Structure 1
């Protein structure tokens, strides 16, 4: 193994509390077409999905063009809030990244909008541990395709992917690389190559 590619939400951090405030206060309450606030359960239910799927699931009663505008506004204020307030890093994330980065090349591939990973970097100052990152907001590609893009762009020979959802497993299979299931995250996955109960278990796996 020469490299580790990480998912972000449910793997490196939990941003839900900050995102809830951003969406509800800045967008949802200001839009009369939306009848109810977004809940924590709503956000957990969309983890790992791409933007269009998120819009369909959260705002099924809105016309497609209105839904897209609302979600774009949500994404914009979300990145601003996260850049200023951050999310909740899982325990010992930086210590583990320090140790892993001395042995492996580290990357992030997340199903998020452009600016989201940058907000994670801006607040938590962890960019120095990662050599590259990718997301569909920037490429328009699926998570599996973005993983392959990272592999090709960085000439990786034996990477693994660490994530917490069924979508992460499917993306790993698409890219034909081993999958490490972060069991502490948001998803339920029954098939994996490795499993970790907490983030620093990675030091025992690798």
Structure 2
């Protein structure tokens, strides 16, 4: 193994409390929104791309309106998280530091452009990662973005760490092993390895 590619939400941090606050601030000013969101609804969208989130949360709205609302939510979200951050999982930085001394580290998340940058900005963790990608920049699926990172960085034997079925499928598309983060938001049908907490990666690798 030469590298580890990480999902972000439910794997490196949990930003849902802060995201819920700013999204509901946006939604409260939209007359077409029937009600505000709760934390369970937001957590249920983890791993989806932005368009899919809009369809799941606001099925009663036209696609164009879904897109407009999601774009505004995402813009406000990135600004807020860049200044306030999210909840990092226990011993995250210590574990990343140790892993980065042995492996090349990357992030591939199904987020909008600016979201990973906000994670880096507030928590100052960008120094541990060599590259990152998301559909907000490429328009590609998770599996395609994983392959893009692999090709761009000449990775020969990476693994992908994530917490949802979408993460598992992305690793499968890329043809690499999947490590299931059991502490995250989702459930998966199968996996190659699993961890109960983030620091377990040090025992696994």
Give the equivalent residue in structure 1 for 2:9. 9
Q: Would you identify which runs of 4 or more consecutive aligned residues in structure 1 move more than 3 Å?
A: none
Give the equivalent residue in structure 1 for 2:185. 186
Post-superposition offset of 1:190: 3.2
Q: Distance in 1 between matches of 2:62 and 2:202?
A: 47
Map 1:40-189 to 2 at 5 A.
Answer: 40-189=39-188
Aligned to 1:30, the other structure's residue is in SS state coil
Aligned Cα root-mean-square deviation (Å): 0.5
Q: Gapped runs of 5+ residues in structure 2?
A: none
TM-score (structure 2 length as normaliser):
0.99
Aligned to 1:107, the other structure's residue is in SS state strand
Q: Distance in 2 between matches of 1:140 and 1:76?
A: 17
Give the equivalent residue in structure 2 for 1:33. 32
Q: Gapped runs of 5+ residues in structure 1?
A: none
TM-score (structure 1 length as normaliser):
0.99
Q: Distance in 1 between matches of 2:34 and 2:93?
A: 40
Q: Distance in 2 between matches of 1:31 and 1:123?
A: 29
Aligned to 1:180, the other structure's residue is in SS state strand
Aligned to 1:98, the other structure's residue is in SS state helix
How many residues were matched structurally?
205
Aligned to 2:184, the other structure's residue is in SS state coil
Post-superposition offset of 1:126: 0.0
Post-superposition offset of 1:41: 0.6
Post-superposition offset of 1:64: 1.1
Q: Distance in 2 between matches of 1:52 and 1:39?
A: 19
